[in-house]
Structure 1
Amino acid sequence: MTYVVTENCIKCKYTDCVSVCPVDAFCEGPNMLVIDPEVCIDCDVCVPECPAGAIYDENDVPEGQTSFIELNRELSGQWPTISQMKDPPADAEDWDGVTGKLEYLEK
């Protein structure tokens, strides 16, 4: 079991979760974060820290977003680890809660 970053992180990319992760399991892409399932220790401290509510236990990923389980695995092998909080994009609040954002994911 691991935790998974889902669609609502796209274009929001809040990094509050990064600051509490004890094992640096987050990886940063151009407009989204993912969790490396090989590093995640399933502690769940990141879940309540995500302002966008985009992090789920892999067994609880919402219907229609299960592809993010494999996407986190794939992209965590390509993107660098992030271990410090950064400012979110200026328009993050505008994108929070918008559905259908997968088309905007920059790999």
Structure 2
Amino acid sequence: MTYVIAQPCVDVKDRACVDECPVDCIYEGPRMLYVQPDECVDCGACEPVCPAEAIFYEDDLPDAWSPFLAANAEAFAAVGSPGGAGASGPLAEDAPLVVGLPVAD
């Protein structure tokens, strides 16, 4: 199991969760942040600090945002498990689901 970042993060990217994550598994994409599911240790530190309330434990992800479970994994299709966001830098592209969303005003 893992934590998932969902649609409320799109075009917001507050980054409070990044600062709180003890294993550096939250990566920044062009339009949102993503949890690398293989690196997440399920500590839950990210969830309460998210002002957009965009982070959910996988089992608690609202049905409306269930596609974001796959989107968080798909964001890493090209890079795999880089071993920490700080060392690898931002992701080059967002997951296809996010790319297809309209840009928030």
TM-score by length of structure 1 reads 0.74
SS of match in other structure, 1:103: coil
Tell me: higher relative CO, structure 1 or 2? Use CA pairs within 8 A at least 6 residues apart: 1
The number of residues matched between the two structures is: 87
Residue 13 (structure 1) aligns with: 13
- Could you say if the C-alpha distance between residues 28 and 77 of structure 1 is closer, same or farther in structure 2, counting changes exceeding 3 Å? farther
Residue 35 (structure 2) aligns with: 35
Identity of aligned residues (%): 40
Residue 52 (structure 1) aligns with: 52
Is structure 2 residue 67 aligned with structure 1 residue 67? Answer: yes
2:101 corresponds to which letter in structure 1? E
Residue 104 (structure 1) aligns with: 102
Q: How much does 1:78 deviate?
A: 4.2
Distance 2:32 2:78 in 1: 13
Alignment root-mean-square deviation, CA: 1.9
Q: Is the 8 A contact 1:27 1:76 kept in 2?
A: no
SS of match in other structure, 1:64: helix
Alignment deviations for residues 73-96 of structure 1 (CA, whole Å, 9 cap, x no partner): 11034477544xxxxxxxxxxxxx
Distance 1:25 1:65 in 2: 20
Distance 2:27 2:76 in 1: 6
